[in-house]
Every structure is written in C-alpha cells, then in structure tokens.
Amino acid sequence: MCKFLDTQNNTCTIHNHRPEICRIDVMYEKVYKQHFDVLEFYTLKYRGLQSFKAQIEHNKLIKKGAICHYH
C-alpha cells in the first residue's frame, strides 16, 4: 500500500505532486504503450484499482471487528 494513501478518505495526500509512476497517462506513454493498446491498458489498471479498493474496504471491516481476520 502506498505510504501517501489516506485510508480514511481513500485519497492521495500528494496527488498534485505525485511521481511519474503514479501518473497513468505518463506511464502509458513511457513504458506500457509498447506492450498494450490504450484500451487494454486502462482496462487492466481499472481492474487492479477495483481489487485494491476492495482490499482496503475488507481491511477496514477487519479493523472494526465487523469480520474475522481469517474470513
């Protein structure tokens, strides 16, 4: 998990000053364009983000005691 993620609000605390690795458009042009077409790239990034968000919500429920850690 990124150290700059505010897990309470699910936002980036350095969004306006984030590094290139966090800038999807920049990274696509610099690195991923040679491996994926743009639609495929954004689809993969979206799926990864959805999975990441689900994990954050799951962890919040564990911290609240709403579900068992081993569930």
Structure-token match 């709403």, residue found = 66
Domain count of the fold of the chain? 1
> In this structure, are residues 45 and 24 in contact, taking their beta carbons and an 8 Å threshold?
yes
Does residue 3 sit within a domain?
A: no
pLDDT of 12-71, one tens digit each? Answer: 999 999 999 889 899 999 998 999 999 998 898 888 878 877 877 777 777 777 776 665
Domain that holds residue 48: 19-71
CA angle 19, 8, 22 (to 5 degrees): 15
- Distance (Å, rounded) from C-alpha 31 to C-alpha 57? 30
8 falls within a domain: no
Structural domain includes residue 7: no
DSSP 12: E
Enter the pTM of the model.
Answer: 0.57
